[in-house]
C-alpha cells in the first residue's frame, strides 16, 4: 500500500487560508509618510502677504485631503513651511491668511503645493509630479481648484489672532465691530500740551 502524501502548507498560505475562512480582510499596508529627497527642497518661496496679526510662522492651517477612490478624507494641521506626505500625496504649506473679524466678507485662504507620485502617461515610470501650486480659498473655492482624478484638496481654517482681539477667532465666527478711528481731540496726546500753552498765554 502506497503511503499517503502529506501536503506542506507554508505559514503565509495558512494565514491567507484562515483569513479566507473567517471572512476577515487582510490588514492594509501602512502609508508612506517620509518626504522624498528629490522634492524635499523644492518648496516655493512664501508669497508676500502684508497683513496684521499672528506672525506667519506661528499660524496653523487645516487642509483637507480627499481620496476619491476610497472616499476617505482627513484633516491635516500644519504651519507655513511644513510638508506632509500621505501615501502618494505630498502637501506643502507656504502661507495661510484670514480676514480680520471686522472685515467683510470673511475669507480664509492658504497657499499650498500638491505633489503626487504617479505616471504621466500609461506605461511611463512613476515620478513625483506637481499638480497644483497656488492659493485655495474656503468661501470662494471656485477661484482656484485642485484638478486631479484621484485627489481633492481644500482649505478649512487658518488659526491666527489679531491685536484687537488677542485670541484666536474661528473663521466661522461672526464679524466684530470695526475698531474706532483716530482718537478724539481730548484723548489725543498732543491736546494736553496745547491747552496748557493757551492757559499760560492768557496768564
Render pLDDT for 129-165 as a digit per residue (tens, 0 to 9): 999 999 999 999 999 999 999 999 999 999 999 886 5
Closest CA to 135 of 97, 106, 109, 100: 109
- Euclidean distance between CA atoms 198 and 203, whole angstroms: 9
Question: Percentages helix, strand, coil for the chain, rounded to the nearest 5?
Answer: 15, 30, 50
Chain segment 9-31, per-residue pLDDT in tens: 444 554 454 545 555 555 555 66
pLDDT score for 26: 52
Q: How many other CB atoms sit within 10 Å of the CB of residue 80? A: 23
pLDDT score for 107: 95
Q: The whole model's pTM is what? A: 0.63
Give whichever of 28-32, 51-55, 129-133, 165-169 has the largest mean pLDDT. Answer: 129-133
Residue 186 lies in a domain: no
Residue 188 lies in a domain: no
CB 130 within 8 A of CB 153: no
- Euclidean distance between CA atoms 165 and 61, whole angstroms: 19
Residue 51 lies in a domain: yes
Range of the domain at 103: 28-159
31-40, 103-112, 173-182: which range is least confident on average? 173-182
Closest CA to 109 of 175, 47, 174: 47
Residue 200 lies in a domain: no
What is the number of domains present in the chain?
1
Residue 199 lies in a domain: no
Residue 138 lies in a domain: yes
83 vs 9, higher pLDDT: 83
Residue 100 lies in a domain: yes
pLDDT score for 36: 75
Residue 197 lies in a domain: no
Amino acid at each position: 500500500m502506497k503511503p499517503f502524501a502529506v501536503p506542506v502548507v507554508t505559514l503565509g498560505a495558512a494565514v491567507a487560508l484562515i483569513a479566507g475562512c473567517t471572512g476577515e480582510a487582510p490588514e492594509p499596508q501602512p502609508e508612506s509618510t517620509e518626504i522624498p529627497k528629490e522634492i524635499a527642497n523644492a518648496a516655493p518661496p512664501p508669497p508676500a502677504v502684508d497683513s496684521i496679526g499672528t506672525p506667519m510662522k506661528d499660524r496653523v492651517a487645516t487642509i483637507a485631503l480627499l481620496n476619491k477612490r476610497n472616499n476617505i478624507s482627513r484633516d491635516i494641521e500644519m504651519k507655513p513651511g511644513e510638508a506632509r506626505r500621505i501615501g502618494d500625496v505630498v502637501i506643502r504649506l507656504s502661507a495661510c491668511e484670514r480676514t480680520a473679524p471686522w472685515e467683510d466678507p470673511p475669507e480664509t485662504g492658504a497657499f499650498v503645493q500638491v505633489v503626487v507620485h504617479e505616471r504621466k502617461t500609461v506605461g511611463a515610470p512613476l515620478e513625483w509630479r506637481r499638480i497644483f501650486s497656488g492659493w485655495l480659498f474656503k468661501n470662494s473655492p471656485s477661484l482656484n481648484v485642485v484638478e486631479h482624478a484621484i485627489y481633492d484638496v481644500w482649505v478649512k481654517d487658518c488659526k491666527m489672532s489679531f491685536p484687537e482681539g488677542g485670541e484666536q477667532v474661528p473663521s466661522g465666527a461672526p464679524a466684530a465691530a470695526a475698531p474706532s478711528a483716530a482718537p478724539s481731540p481730548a484723548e489725543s496726546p498732543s491736546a494736553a500740551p496745547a491747552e496748557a500753552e493757551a492757559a499760560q498765554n492768557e496768564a
